[in-house]
Structure 1
Amino acid sequence: MSTAPGPYDSGRERDRDEEGRARNQRPRDGLGRPLPYGADGVPRQPEGVVRAPEESVAEAQALLDAGRPFHAHEVFEDAWKSGPATERGLWKGLAQLAVGLTHSARGNTTGGARLLLRGAGAVAAWSAESGRERPYGMDVVELGNWAEALAGLLEREGTAVDAAAHAPRLRGGSAG
């Protein structure tokens, strides 16, 4: 039984950032799946970028529309980590929605449906707690409806979905 060499077997050092933290530098496909070292992948989202909330929403929407929900999740994760503590539940819930769509597009329909529902619950809970239904122009109720509808489709059909075709509209309008 032969396996492809990993970074340690091939003489490669572990991928580390400037502070010495482990950072996997393998290229990734549009859904965030690792590709072999040296393969052509899609550009990765830079980590730790501090954006204005409106910029986060716009950038995440562009990535969702392009069928790259894994990368949209990274934008939401940056907002969750750099934003005010009072908004972490919102951004974490949005990240869960994006990861749910990622799993759904990768064919993990059970995990995708669970994450979509978990994210919808987190966003709804944040909205109820904060009293804000349209933070940064996002329609929290419509996002919850989108997530529940997609989770239902995944549970009924059990097949992978096209991420771009099923991407939500963060600021309202029709979702995929």
Structure 2
Amino acid sequence: MNQLKKASTTLRKIFKGIDIYCKSCDLCCFTYGWILPSETYKYNYENLVEINQKVKCFDSFRKNNNGDRILEEIPRCKFYKNNRCSIQDIKPFDCLLYPIKILYMPNNKKFKIVLSLDCPFIKYLSNAKMLQLENKIIDFFTDLDTDVLAEYLFLVKEWDRITKPKDFPYKVLLYLDEENYV
């Protein structure tokens, strides 16, 4: 099993049962839908757009009157239908991570791995279950193949240059030094 597929399988196990909460939630899937270079083969190229000649994402953007994409506006993913992901079986690694987000801190040259606290799945967890989840996430990143992690962190760094992240409540789980990965 390739390392990206292995990581995706592990994430599905970590967040088993999250889909029950997704059905009544309308918060997530406002995303650019970033695609790792190693997973572009899974998607129809008409659904992808390349930004900054370095990163690819789903082309879910609204367009202005001239037909130009509005990049400043975080779009609702084009595959979000009826409160669920219509490409669940081939969901990108970036999407599988949610409610984990990785934020780049250019001033410190660090990546901050955080847990989004506005996710209903997270809100539902007892303190004990939350601690178990946090430990599983830390273990996941500790054990994650370094090539997969480096590829994803490169993507995080690049999209930080071209987008403005939305504000959301989160809990910091881990910091990673850029020099070790990118």
Q: TM-score, normalised by structure 1?
A: 0.29
Q: Which has the higher strand share?
A: 2
- Comparing both structures, which one devotes a greater share of its residues to helix? 1
- TM-score, with normalisation over the residues of structure 2? 0.28
